[in-house]
Amino acid sequence: MARVNIFDTTLRDGEQSPGVNLNRLEKLEIAKQLERLGVDVMEAGFPASSQGDFESVREIANTIRNVSVTGLARAVKSDIDTAWEALKDGADPRLHVFIATSPIHMTYKLKKTPEEVIEKAVEMVSYARERFPKVEWSAEDASRSDLSFLAEIIEKVIDAGATVINLPDTVGYTTPAEYGSMFRYMRENVPNIDKAILSAHCHDDLGMALANSIAAVENGAGQVEGTINGIGERAGNAALEELAVALKIRQDFYPAETGLTLKEIKRTSDLVSKLTGMHVPRNKAVVGQNAFAHESGIHQDGVLKHAQTYEIITPEMVGVTSNSLVMGKHSGKHAFKDKLKQLGYDLSDEKVLEAFTEFKKLTDTKKEVTDDDLFTILTDVQTKT
């Protein structure tokens, strides 16, 4: 079974969701959870965009040891230098450098000819490779670019040292058949394509980000980029939890798998939703509150007779558990600590005490404290400055 690398950009493209602004501790907390989830690469931010993002990316790169941490850079030397300063002490540093390749972007935004864009892309990838052992190059707006121009520039940036070639559907415009055939075209027309991994990066403007990502995988993409809960610019990015579960559930059909620990999905989704303030719709696939709820009598009857009549994903697979230990005002510190352990938290005594105090306050106003309430308390305690 082929392995598809997961490139998580919740902390960069996801943070570009209008209205989302994560602080340093919040970003770090999400990064630690992404490490538990088992993503292969995490894009921690855009170091040249602000001092805060620079510091955040540096802290994440210095803390996370089991996932390659990357940062975004425009095709300009100062962005690459800043990204190197932020990432250089990481366990497996890599750069993500991009330049637009579509006629509309080259003409109106970059005001460059296609030849100038090729020259800039090659120069910046070579420059980045003087420092970074791994460099991903993105052709921004690839899905609206000319295919033969794209093939030419890809061949040259691979020669310059790019290790991953990302073909974003920046404006969520493409369709599965079209996006898939772009990957096939590159595999067939770029002579040195095997020296790099092809990557998909899809936006959801027409609601096709997941289908487009899967079409790319079917046509040779070795990496998919996306975010948790599908947050991101405008209508968002491909939702990584949906991709991982779709590949798992339909492994009979798709010969590819991710390395994600699926049981960590629910917790990751909850954390991202809470810290970004981006509410997960009840009917959202895989992580929505209704994803495992059955309303109609016929469905309930079917599920009671055999769960798979109406349930293709088990709640347990993605870490949704039912809870038997009820926490309330009579619960003591011991039970509380035990509960935290059960939920997978490993906190210092000081943090446990802080959380316990908050829990006790809540029991004065609420008869039963749910896992969701505890999750809110624990996240607040962990991200408090």
Instruction: State the binding site for Mn(2+).
Output: 13, 201, 203, 237
Whether 237 and 196 have beta carbons less than 8 Å apart is answered as no
State the Cα angle at 174 between 171 and 19, rounded to 5°: 25
111-140 binders of ligand KIV (CB under 6 A):
138, 140
Nearer to ligand KIV, 94 or 274 (CB): 94
Binding region for ligand KIV (CB under 6 A) out of 62-70, 162-170, 268-276, 301-309: 162-170
Strand partners, 358: none
| Binding site feature residues | 13, 201, 203, 237
Residue 372 contacts by C-beta under 8 Å, 6 or more apart in sequence? 270
25/102 Cα distance (integer angstroms):
37
Tokens at residue 66, please?
A: 């089991």
- Write down the least CB distance from residue 290 to ligand KIV, Å: 30
138 binds, among ligand KIV, Zn ion, none (CB under 5 to 8 A by kind): ligand KIV
179/173 Cα distance (integer angstroms):
10
User: Tell me, what amino acid is at 369?
Assistant: V
Q: Write the DSSP symbol of residue 380.
A: H
- Write down the least CB distance from residue 144 to ligand KIV, Å: 11
Nearer to ligand KIV, 13 or 79 (CB): 13
Report the interface residues with Zn ion, using CB under 5 A. Answer: 13
Nearer to ligand KIV, 169 or 264 (CB): 169
Nearer to ligand KIV, 233 or 242 (CB): 233
- Write down the least CB distance from residue 201 to ligand KIV, Å: 5
Nearer to ligand KIV, 87 or 245 (CB): 87
> For the packed helices 371-383 and 349-363, what is the interaxial angle rounded to 10 degrees?
130
Residue 229 contacts by C-beta under 8 Å, 6 or more apart in sequence? 239, 241, 269, 272, 273, 278, 280, 284, 287
Tokens at residue 107, please?
A: 């003409």
User: Tell me, what amino acid is at 183?
Assistant: F
Give the x/- contact pattern for ligand KIV in 179-208, rule: CB under 6 A: ----------------------x-x-----
> For the packed helices 371-383 and 24-37, what is the interaxial angle rounded to 10 degrees?
120
Binding region for ligand KIV (CB under 6 A) out of 48-56, 109-117, 163-171, 328-336: 163-171
Q: Does 98 bind ligand KIV (CB under 6 A)?
A: yes
- Write down the least CB distance from residue 46 to ligand KIV, Å: 9
224/6 Cα distance (integer angstroms):
5
Q: Tell me, rounded to whole angstroms, the distance of Cα 41 from its chain centroid.
A: 9
82 binds, among Zn ion, ligand KIV, none (CB under 5 to 8 A by kind): none
Cα distance from N-terminal residue to C-terminal residue, the chain: 44
98 binds, among ligand KIV, Zn ion, none (CB under 5 to 8 A by kind): ligand KIV
Q: Does 331 bind ligand KIV (CB under 6 A)?
A: no
- Write down the least CB distance from residue 224 to ligand KIV, Å: 13
Longest dimension (CA), the chain: 72
Q: Does 168 bind ligand KIV (CB under 6 A)?
A: yes
Among 10, 11, 13, 61, binds ligand KIV (CB under 6 A): 13
Binding site for ligand KIV (CB under 6 A): 13, 98, 138, 140, 166, 168, 170, 201, 203
